[in-house]
Amino acid sequence: MSASGGRSAGSGDSKVLIARVIADQAALSAHSEAVVHALEAQGARVLGADPLPLDEGVLQLMVEGGSAEGLRAVVDRHIAPSDLLIADHLPQIPKVFVSDMDSTMIGQECIDELADFAGIKPEIAAITERAMQGELDFAEALTERVRLLGGLSEAAIQQCLDERIVAMPGARALVATLKAHGCHTVLVTGGFHQFADPVAERLGFERVVGNRLAVGQGRLTGGLVGTIVDSSVKEAVLREEAALRGGNTLATGDGANDIPMLIAATYGVAYHAKPKARAAAHGAIDRGDLTSVLRLLGIAQGDWAEG
């Protein structure tokens, strides 16, 4: 794991890392001293371990001379489950927010739910899980799953949207609040525009990048239209938006195909994620909902916008 972007929180040659941790208040009270001792045992110097001024439910650690990997390991060992963000500067509201959709902004994997209408959900879901774990090539896995959906009525897409697709808790508040603070929001997905466009409209995203299911005579053809959106495209979208708008960037995702995007962001946050994605990110939401991202960025609840 690495931290990037912004200026150092301290002076001198030793890098100062800022870690913000959300956990049960009793756990924070009981174990924060153990966290400090464990970090010092690694050779780090703890400059502060205090509640965030605007949110007493967030512990802010200032650590000089340690590593992000070591800091995370200590927090995982002593305070779990928790929500965590590590940076080499005081976190700031980003100028760009790029997010994955399936299992991040919504609680479902759209292709798995669509497969249920075709009567092949277990077969499709098994491929999806392996792809998200990083065990299969994403493009090949996507192509195979889409092929298996060939012949399904196009009407199943709208039915699936109406009956199955539900926003993650906190998704609307996260997007609305970031936009209210001047952040540009982008939904980028290895899923499909037929789902992503209405989801983006519901949640307030300003741009959508995704794949498109090919349709002919009212049925899915088993193919895709255009270039496949994979991990490299997700990263490229984030870098493109950052170049256009400047400032810090935020990315959220849960699977292996989100890893390059999470690494490239100033704040890459893995949301209830697969192990490889969690390990690669700058932070992780393991405990709360998507509003934990706002708290980790230091946005007080009184400044949240209604989603």
Residues involved in catalysis: 100, 102
Peptide bond into 81 cis (omega under 30): yes
Residue 107 CA to residue 261 CA, distance in Å, equals: 20
* DSSP secondary structure of the chain: ----SS--SS-SSS-EEEEEEE--HHHHHHHHHHHHHHHHHTT-EEEEEEEETTEEEEEEEEEES--HHHHHHHHHHHS-S-EEEEESS-----SEEEE--BTTTBSS-HHHHHHHHTT-HHHHHHHHHHHHTTSS-HHHHHHHHHHHTTT-BTHHHHHHHHHT--BPTTHHHHHHHHHHTT-EEEEEEEEEHHHHHHHHHHHT-SEEEEE-EEEETTEEEEEESSS---HHHHHHHHHHHHHHH-S-EEEEE-SGGGHHHHHHSSEEEEES--HHHHHHSSEEESSS-THHHHHHTT--GGGPPP-
CA 305 to CA 302: how far, in whole Å?
8
